[in-house]
Structure 1
Amino acid sequence: MSLGDLAHAKYVLLTTFRKDGSAVPTPLWAAPDGDGLVVWTVTDSYKVKRIRRNPEVTVAACDARGNPKGAAIAGRATILDAAGTERARSAISRKYGIVGWLAMKGSLLRRGKSGTIGIVVSAPDAP
């Protein structure tokens, strides 16, 4: 299975790593982005802080509660700029239809544009 295949799962389990190396899995929505996938989260979340320190992550298909539905794939996460975050919002809105669109609009009303951020997960050897 590739990252592109995972983008078709309803939820993905993004696992980031603490300073001590312990894993922190989080179920998220994801959408395809070229050969990788994009996810969207709150800007000041701990997962964003962990990714800034260590971009190595794993992703796996999962259910809404974060129970894995397959093997995890290693990846490299990159925090997106404002334009990239807007691209991630659009991709997620397209994939999840009216529910995704409502989630994006609700988030913009609640947090503003800078309150959420996009993350792209690519293969570990990708630039």
Structure 2
Amino acid sequence: MSSQTAASPELARFVRQYTVLLTTYKRDGTGVGTPVNIAVDGDRAYFRTPGGTWKVKRIRNNPEVELAPSTFRGRPTGPAVRARARLLEPGGAEDRHAARLLRRKYPFVQGVLVPLAHKLMRTRTLHYELRIAR
């Protein structure tokens, strides 16, 4: 993977955003919002999560999600944009690239705290790619 590239117009507003509200959908269509850290690279954004979360199960059933800028606690601070989530192959080049981008943007949180928490939880860390839905 190459170094970071300029953000697409749709994702440009998320480049400096600390937290976004990621809304995933249950089978009945109900949205569930979760605050996450994302790193933007060109026309893609990446986030990570522990492997056993409900968010992972919802994305597996419906990869259509929404992203909105938010506060640390998940209160939206701007309009949402529709996107599609794709699980990156654990240990693959894209997975390592996503991890590197997240560590670079959030050195302490994503470089130390989150990996330690996932280790203590004894769960695998999963990385997802987000692309704006057209």
TM-score (norm 1): 0.87
8 Å contact kept, 1:3–1:73: no
Amino acid corresponding to residue 110 of structure 2 in structure 1: G
Aligned positions of 1:48-63 closer than 5 A: 48-63=56-71
What is the alpha-carbon distance in structure 2 between the residues aligned to residue 7 and residue 78 of structure 1?
Answer: 19
CA RMSD, 1 decimal: 1.8
| Displacement of 1:116 | 1.1
Counting helix residues as a fraction of each chain, which structure ranks higher?
1
The alpha carbon displacement at 1:105 in A equals 4.0
Conserved? CA contact 2:50–2:118, under 8 Å: no
Confirm whether residue 17 of structure 1 aligns to residue 22 of structure 2: no
Residue in structure 1 matching 2:128, options 109, 112, 119: 119
Amino acid of the structure 2 residue aligned with 1:100: Q
Name the SS of the counterpart of 2:109 in structure 1.
helix
Change (3 A) 1:45 1:7: farther
Unaligned runs of 5+ in 2: 1-8
Distance 1:108 1:49, change over 3 A: closer
- How do 1:52-91 residues align onto structure 2 when only pairs under 5 Å count? 52-82=60-90, 83=92, 84-91=94-101
Deviates more, 1:51-60 or 1:80-89: 80-89
Residue from 105, 111, 116 that aligns with 1:101 = 111
Runs of 4+ deviating beyond 3 Å: none
1:39 alignment counterpart: 47
Retained in 2: the 8 A contact 1:93–1:104?
no
Distance of 1:107 and 1:58 partners within structure 2 = 26
Q: Deviations over 1:45-97 (max 9, x none)?
A: 11111111111000011011100010000000101111233222211110012
**Percent identity over paired residues:** 33
The answer for unaligned runs of 5 or more in structure 1 is none
Among residues 12, 16, 25, which one is paired with 1:8 in the alignment? 16
Structure 1 residue 99 displacement after superposition: 3.4
| TM-score, length of structure 2 as denominator length | 0.83
